[in-house]
């Protein structure tokens, strides 16, 4: 069997001879490559599981985990402090507005802080 392919506007002709031997070799190469890729992906998947298990078992991982948890607690405490400071500044701002702005200029209805 022969495949003929005419390419482009100049009409270049490509010919490909297909014999039984070439088809069988192509089939085996395709099967070999696909099985190789399949087994490599399975090995990679299994290796990821063992890496995670090794990570959990090491003492270095527990030390790193403890250090990261300590930093996380510090960040949360800073966040709480900052949130409290913002609330204090908001109340001070409201008190300052009450002192400096005459009551006649203040809006009668409270402003919706949710934006809606």
The pLDDT assigned to 98 comes to 86
Query: Is 13 inside a domain boundary?
Result: no
Inter-residue contact 63 to 71 (CB < 8 Å): no
Query: Is 70 inside a domain boundary?
Result: yes
Whole-angstrom CA distances from 93 to 55, 96, 99, 100, 112 are 51, 5, 10, 10, 16
In the predicted model, what is the mean pLDDT of residues 4-9?
80
Q: How far apart are the first and last CA of the chain?
A: 74
Confidence of residue 50 (pLDDT cuts 50, 70, 90): low
Structural domain tally of the chain? Answer: 1
Query: Is 28 inside a domain boundary?
Result: no
Query: Is 79 inside a domain boundary?
Result: yes
In the predicted model, what is the mean pLDDT of residues 48-59?
64
64-111 per-position pLDDT tens digit: 788 889 999 999 999 999 999 999 999 999 999 888 888 787 776 555
Task: Residue 90: give the domain boundaries.
Answer: 59-101
Higher pLDDT, 81 or 48: 81
115: left (phi over 0), alpha (psi -120 to 50) or beta: left
Query: Is 67 inside a domain boundary?
Result: yes
């Amino acid at each position: 069997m022969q495949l003929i392919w005419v390419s482009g506007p100049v009409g270049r002709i490509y010919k490909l001879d297909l014999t039984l031997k070439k088809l069988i070799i192509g089939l085996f190469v395709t099967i070999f490559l696909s099985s190789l890729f399949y087994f490599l992906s399975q090995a990679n998947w299994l290796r990821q599981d063992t890496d995670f298990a090794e990570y959990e078992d090491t003492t270095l991982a527990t030390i790193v985990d403890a250090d990261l948890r300590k930093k996380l607690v510090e960040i949360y405490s800073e966040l709480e402090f900052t949130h409290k400071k913002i609330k204090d500044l908001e109340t001070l701002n409201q008190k300052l507005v009450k002192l400096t702005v005459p009551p006649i200029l203040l809006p009668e209805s409270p402003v919706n802080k949710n934006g809606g």
